[in-house]
Amino acid sequence: MKSHSQVDYDRGQLDCNSCRYRFSVSTGTIFHDSHLPFQKWFLATFLMTGSRKGISANQLKRVLGISYKTAWYLCHRIRAAMAELKPEPLA
């Protein structure tokens, strides 16, 4: 079986063998262009989906030990990803 990509282990990136495009596992996701570790992203997602009334950026800031600006960014990206594209009418 022929491999479609090669891994650059130092940078955590993959190279497509056909077009030589360099990408990572976070390309095309809410994690793209973020230097925050995946563990903090997943914890933030868990906290946001697990709390009944939601969670504020200030609470995320305290729990994760990050800046308010980063916490707001996380909340914004996660909420955008959870939004339904075509919501069904309730009635």
Give the residue, 79 or 18, on which the prediction is more confident.
79
Residue 58, burial from CB neighbour count under 10 angstroms (0-12, 13-18, 19+): exposed
Global model pTM greater than 0.95: no
Q: What is the pLDDT of residue 11?
A: 58
Tokens for 80?
């955008």
Mean predicted confidence (pLDDT) in 13-26: 68
pLDDT tens digits for range 31-79? 666 778 888 988 998 998 898 888 999 999 999 999 999 999 998 888 8
Q: What is the pLDDT of residue 14?
A: 67
